Amino acid sequence: MKSPAIGELIKRELSRQERTVVWFANRLSCDRTNVYRIFAKRSLDTELLVRISIVLGHNFFADIASELDNDLSNK
């Protein structure tokens, strides 16, 4: 897969929504340093990604599936 790391996708979506790291950390019930760790991750646990998707109102699983479809069609 040539797509950006999931942490980068989350960071971009947070920025697109003009939300702060503090806002995001509060919604996830974690410290903001944990949010920066999420941004650095290439992959995430699905349960955490579900929570993040709900908090941001964005289906990151659809993004991943779309990229996978593209990769498979290019084979």
Task: Give me the mean pLDDT over the 28-41 stretch.
Answer: 97
Amino acid at 20: T
Q: Where do the domains of the chain lie?
A: 6-73
Q: Is the pLDDT of residue 1 over 80?
A: no
| Token digits of residue 53 | 């998707």
Give the pLDDT score at 2: 64
Architecture of domain 6-73: Orthogonal Bundle (1.10)
Q: Which DSSP string corresponds to 6-40?
A: HHHHHHHHHHHTT--HHHHHHHHTS-HHHHHHHHH
* pLDDT top residue among 71 and 49: 49
